[in-house]
Structure 1
Amino acid sequence: MPLRVAMVSLHTSPGADPGAGDVGGMNVVIRHLAGELAALGCEIDILTRRTDPAAPTVVELAAGVRLRHLDAGPAQVRPKSEHEAYIHEFGDAMSTCGGYDLIHAHHWFSGLAALDVARAWGTGMVQSFHSIAAAPESALAEGERPESPGRMVGEARLAREANALLAVSSAERRTIVDRLGAAPDRVTVVRPGVDVTQFHPAGERESGAGYLLAAARLEPLKGIDLAIEAVAGLDPQVAPELVICGGATSGFEDYPDQLHQLVAARGLSGRVRFLGPCSRDELAALMRGARIFLNPSHSETYGLTALEAAASGVPVVAAESGGLVEAVRHGETGLLLHTRDPDAWTGALQALLTDPARVARLARGGRAHAEQHTWAQMAQRTLAVYQQLIGA
């Protein structure tokens, strides 16, 4: 009998393209992980909240992978911060599904909805956080939303009560153990992969061709303003165009306007291009055409786009935060900066733009690094955790 797994993604659908609303790296991970687990013989149902009254109840995403829309809250897209109010209703909807050998919850909303359901079914529950609330003493970035009221308590409860916890980086594992209080032997690091066929280097191109690229949902946490400030300081003789791929996060619909105003204030009109949300194929094509990829995020649990850039043979300049120190190997696949001083970022970019030999070395190192991280490997390690839990 195949292993039947309910993957829970309450607040965002893995059937949607990343880059806008609350659709980001977590969605990419769930979609690829589910597909690879199905290839290993599992049957995967992804349970998500209905946001469109016309959406079918069940959608087959791939062989062995189904997306199930559950009714909880209004059937419309709502800001992520509102989803705490839908946890109990979503759990009630989950309880009518049944027939699963295991639940794998993604994000704390999903975990709290699934915890009592797993107990009622007598099944084990695996928790992946994907992001964890900032420490209480951390200052919010300008314009950043405060945490949902129950998040810190909820994450600590999941760390104590979930049967197993998966972390996407050693940095996240430390947070789960040290801050949330999980027993170390219940936390396993399983890093994300990258599709090295979809994300691959471009062929030979003219020296100096290409642009700087940033790809993220547009919200203060992602730090795109720092990318703009860094480009503003570049020597116009060597400064390429900055291309920004991504749309506004739910609840931050006015943030793109703030970025446009910053571009105008820095005299960069015509040198910065906003593309809006991009499909996975469009992002892969953009990566291939870039000279340098920028990830100035204030916090990343891992930094999937940095790995995708590496697979594309594009050096990464990233903030030294969270899991980015594992997604990017400083001096081998890109540069990690421990400061948010725009002048330091400008200097790092200027140094790379004027040193094509170094860029080529970083590009080769990035591709080699990415080839060691596949989605199949992630699925195999995840399945090993499932099997150990069921066996116990």
Structure 2
Amino acid sequence: MQLQQEGPGLYLALISVHGLIRGKNLELGRDADTGGQTKYVVDLANALARQPGIERVDLITRRIVDDKVHCDYSIPIEPLDEDGARIVRIDCGPEQYLAKEKLWEHLDTFSDNLLEYFHEQERMPDLVHSHYADAGYVATQINHISGIPLVHTGHSLGRDKRKRLMASGMVSRDVEKRYNMRRRIEAEEQVLANASLVITSTKQEIEAQYELYDYYSPDSMRVIPPGTDLSLFHPPELGEAPTQITSAIRRFLDEPDKPMILALSRPDPRKNIATLMQAYGESPELREMANLVIIAGNRDDIREMDNGAQEVLSELLVLIDYYDLYGKVAVPKKHLPSEVPAIYRMAANARGVFINPALTEPFGLTLLESAASGLPFVATENGGPQDIVENCEAGLLVDPLSSRDLGNAIKNLLLDGDMWRTFSANGIKNVALKYSWNAHARAYLKQITPLVAAHKPQQYSPAIVKASRFADRMIVSDLDKTLLSNPTGLREFCQLIRDRRKEVAFGIATARRLDSVLKVLKKYRIPKPDILISSLGSQIHYGRELEVSTDWEEHVDHDWNPRAIRRILRKVEGLSLQDESEQSKFKISFHIDPAYQDSLTRDKLMKLLRQEEQSVNVFITAGQNLDITPSRVSKGLALRYVASIWGIPLEHVLVAAGAGSDEDMITGNTLSVVVSNRAHEAISTTKKQDHKIFYASQPNALGILEAIEHYKFFEEEEGACCA
């Protein structure tokens, strides 16, 4: 593993997992996942790379090989416009393009592959910056293993979005089914509990959206509005030639020189375009004074688009027919990203109005683009537009659920020439003054510099590095429910380990403390492991004497406050501390009274601890035992830490485990086996769909031997990996 070294400038890693991201001709509006966020991260990477003191910016996303999308998205490395900035594409699950809601089960693989990519570089990044909840999940894993400072930008938030969707009429069950909202919100809670800095676009995002979360810490949040490219977005110029998109829009309209009501977004139900169409259709005055132009992504055949886009576009066509809006509404099928500035200028030149009627808008980049083009706007009152209106004084806010309010605001702007001219001039002036990318990048660097300066790169003692000796592969097993209880299988397994000691490292990962494990090893005559992960992953022991890794202890001690945790949980009815023999430095263990098993759930206890700003892991076993550890503690994290030090690829690590506290050992790139007596324990997710998980027909150690044969574990080509 390569350690971070001093260099001439900062190395920043931006992570944005979903959508179609490339440096040129972004397919904005192609689907619900390829919207403003994809443009934001590309612009941010270029803006940061232009700053003094920045050596390298990697924008990391998912690699896609799919005949249905452009081959650009399969290129592993793509240089961006600025020197030192590039897109890095990491394999993650199936090669084909997937919507973000279907990516959750593959994110552990993305995390493992990304960490491997970092280890292959000359040095580790100085900082990881995640964008959206899925990237937040990945970046939290990277932070837990490496300690690299974590910065997060939410872009949109699950709790707020769920509230808005339900206000629009969706029921909770449908929201969960379509958007996988529980997993998203849990990832957001996790990243908030572990991020050193959360960057938002507006004050409203902090005060009204993040406030909904259990781990709400406004002291670690900073408002840094994104920038606008003023070389692209500017007022109309005299003699500006018509473009192809101008002609494409005009062909829909009987009176194309009328003022234009312009909406520009992807075809997503949350963008609420149908309410705008309804407001226009229900107002004879609006239909008489202006045309309606809706730029809703790109399409060839609506029937081949995702369900959300089909629903939106089909409803728009129905409304056009219902209100008989032919010749008054333009909904062009295609446009290029490079044509968007010309569309704004076309609307401004016609003294029109830009509309963003979204149910909620985290920021509102299109509002800045329209304002910089001299085009006043009407926008949703929910989210970032509040700050933009305050700072730019270039538009009006409305309730997006009221078609009447929306229609009245548009009419007011179209009829009041003084207001229109004032808003137009204000937008041009204030966007340039307050919303440039260089200003954003400078403010960004001011915030992250102290985080990078305070970070101490991981150090590994020579002893643990040396302890790997020879191994190019590893077998790791849980103890009680996996390895033991079958004497015949245990004898055969132990003999295999003894015979193969020059080829394989043997590890045990358990919730037990070291002294308890040593008694079991002696009782059952199990060979002493090369690596022992004890107390749920809070301690790592290695070498002949099973020496404790002080480096790991220092790493997991981050934000750990056991005194506060005992104080908080002491007040909870139904909990009692276990005996001192069950406690350890980084594990606090409680009994759960059987009468309270149904009420004292993991979610409830996590909520309580997060509200007290405790960043921890909570494990409940058999409904009776509660263990609290630091957030960086788990068996899977400890296993990856050891594998990286010893240079053993996770594809050469066989893990025998089950559900619960074992689960993160069998996700991602490890080979894994669930022995037959544990197969009844439900794996809580389907994360292993794109990996190798083997359900053995044999119990305990016999099941592990069965898996070794199944995977042909010792038949890999020589030299496939090295210690």
Task: Specify the alignment match of 1:301 in structure 2.
Answer: 362
**Aligned counterparts, 1:358-377, within 5 A:** 358-372=419-433, 373-377=435-439
> Over aligned residues, Cα RMSD in angstroms?
2.3
In structure 1, the residue corresponding to 2:125 is in which secondary structure?
coil
Residue equivalent to 1:74: 94
1:49 aligned to 2:49?
Answer: no
C-alpha displacement of 1:362: 1.1
For the structure 1 residues 276 and 93, does the alpha-carbon distance in structure 2 shift closer, same or farther, using more than 3 Å as the test? farther
The answer to whether the Cα contact below 8 Å between 1:234 and 1:346 also exists between their aligned partners in 2 is: no
**Contact 1:304-1:327 at 8 Å conserved across structures:** no
Partner of 1:278: 335
> Which AA in structure 1 matches 2:12?
V
CA distance in 2, matches of 1:331, 1:141: 29
Q: CA deviation at 1:340?
A: 2.7
CA offsets 1:69-121 (integer angstroms, 9 cap, x no match)? 11112222222211212211111111111131111111110011121222322
Give the Cα separation in 2 of the matches to 1:117 and 1:352.
Answer: 49
Q: Higher relative contact order by CA 8 Å / sep ≥ 6: 1 or 2?
A: 1
Distance 1:82 1:384 in 2: 36
> Tell me, what secondary structure is at the counterpart of 1:191?
coil
Relative to structure 1, the CA distance from residue 351 to residue 185 in structure 2 (aligned partners, 3 Å threshold; closer, same or farther) is closer
Question: 1:8, 1:48 within 8 Å by CA — same for their partners in 2?
Answer: yes
Task: Report the Cα offset of residue 356 of structure 1.
Answer: 2.6
**8 Å Cα contact 2:358/2:400 also seen in 1:** no
1:208-231 Cα deviation digits (max 9, x unpaired): 754211011111100101111122
In structure 1, distance between residues paired with 2:19 and 2:163: 28
Distance 1:169 1:175 in 2: 10
Which one-letter code corresponds to 1:25 in the other structure?
Answer: G
Output the CA distance in 2 between the equivalents of 1:320 and 1:107: 22
Map 1:234-245 → 2, pairs under 5 A? 234-235=284-285, 236-245=287-296
Which amino acid is the alignment partner of residue 254 of structure 1? Q
Cα distance in 2 for residues equivalent to 1:374 and 1:297:
24
SS at match of 1:313: coil
Q: What's the offset of the Cα at 1:377?
A: 0.9
Structure having the larger proportion of residues in helix: 2
Structure 2 partner of 1:35: 46
User: Do the aligned partners of 1:288 and 1:314 also contact (CA within 8 Å) in 2?
Assistant: yes
Deviation at 1:237, TM superposition (A): 2.9
Q: Report the 3-state secondary structure (helix = DSSP H, G, I; strand = E; otherwise coil) of the residue aligned with 2:152.
A: strand
Match of 2:345 in 1: 288
**What is the letter of the counterpart of residue 281 of structure 1?**
S
| Alpha carbons 2:133, 2:188 under 8 Å: kept | yes
Specify the alignment match of 2:197 in structure 1. Answer: 164
Matched with 1:18 is: 28
For normalisation by structure 2, the TM-score amounts to: 0.52
The separation in 1 between residues aligned to 2:110 and 2:216, in whole angstroms, is 25
Q: 1:141 aligns with which of 165, 168, 183?
A: 168
1:60 to 79, 93, 112: 79
Q: Distance in 2 between matches of 1:48 and 1:352?
A: 41
Q: When the two structures are superposed, what TM-score results if normalisation uses the length of structure 1?
A: 0.93
Structure 1 pair 217–32 and aligned structure 2 pair: CA distance change class (3 A): same
Q: Out of 152, 155, 170, which is 1:130 matched to?
A: 155
Mapped to 1, the partners of 2:334 and 2:158 lie a distance apart of 26
Letter in 2 for 1:243: I
1:143-178 deviations in Å (ceiling 9; x for gaps): 784442311111111111112111111111224652
Structure 1: distance between partners of 2:400 and 2:42 = 34
Aligned match for 1:222, one of 253, 271, 277: 271
Amino acid at match of 1:238: M
- One-letter code aligned to 1:351: N
User: Which residue of structure 1 lines up, in the alignment, with residue 228 of structure 2?
Assistant: 194
Unmatched tracts of structure 1, length 5 or more: none
Classify 1:174/1:261 alpha carbon distance in 2 versus 1 (closer, same or farther; 3 Å).
Answer: same
Range 127-136 or range 107-116, more displaced: 127-136
**CA displacement at 1:132 relative to structure 2:** 0.3
What CA distance in whole angstroms lies between the structure 1 residues aligned with 2:48 and 2:345? 28
Deviation at 1:4, TM superposition (A): 0.8
- DSSP 3-state at the match of 2:78: strand
Partners of 1:364 and 1:137 lie apart in 2 by 36
For 1:336, the aligned partner's letter is L
Between stretches 102-111 and 322-331, larger displacement belongs to 322-331
| Compared CA separation, residues 245 and 339, structure 1 to 2 (3 A) | closer
Q: Is the 8 A contact 2:63 2:75 kept in 1?
A: no
Report the CA distance shift for 1:140/1:201 in structure 2 as closer, same or farther (over 3 A): same
Distance 1:258 1:177 in 2: 33
8 Å CA contact 1:57–1:68 kept in 2: the answer is yes
Q: Match of 2:16?
A: 9
Provide Cα deviations, 1:366-388, integer angstroms capped at 9, x if missing partner.
11221121011111111122211
In 1, distance between residues paired with 2:209 and 2:423? 32
Task: Tell me if the contact between 1:103 and 1:123 (Cα under 8 Å) persists in the aligned partners.
Answer: yes
Contact 2:376 2:423 in 1 (8 A): yes
* More off after superposition, 247-256 vs 331-340: 247-256
**Aligned positions of 1:210-359 closer than 5 A:** 210-232=259-281, 233-235=283-285, 236-247=287-298, 250-255=306-311, 256-276=313-333, 278-290=335-347, 291-329=352-390, 332-338=393-399, 340-359=401-420
Residues 316 and 137 (structure 1), Cα distance of their counterparts in 2 relative to 1, 3 Å cut: closer
Moved more, 59-68 or 15-24: 15-24
| C-alpha spacing 1:258/1:176, structure 2 compared with 1 (3 Å) | closer
Q: How many residues align?
A: 391
Is the contact made by 2:357 and 2:400 (CA closer than 8 Å) also made in structure 1? no
Distance 2:190 2:50 in 1: 33
- Is the contact made by 2:291 and 2:329 (CA closer than 8 Å) also made in structure 1? no
The percent identity for this pair of structures is 26
Segment drifting more, 18-27 vs 288-297: 18-27
- Distance in 2, matches of 1:292 and 1:280, equals 20
Once residues 9 and 164 of structure 1 are traced to their aligned partners in structure 2, the CA distance between those partners, rounded to angstroms, is 17
Q: Which is higher, the Rg of structure 1 or of structure 2?
A: 2
CA distance in 2 between counterparts of 1:159 and 1:277 reads: 39
What code does the residue aligned with 1:92 have? D
Change in 2 beyond 3 A, CA 1:32/1:344: same
TM-fit CA distance, 1:339: 5.5
Residues 117 and 241 (structure 1), Cα distance of their counterparts in 2 relative to 1, 3 Å cut: closer
CA displacement, residues 172-209 of structure 1 (integer Å, 9 cap, x when unaligned): 1224652222322211111111112200111369xx75
Q: Is the 8 A contact 2:149 2:196 kept in 1?
A: yes
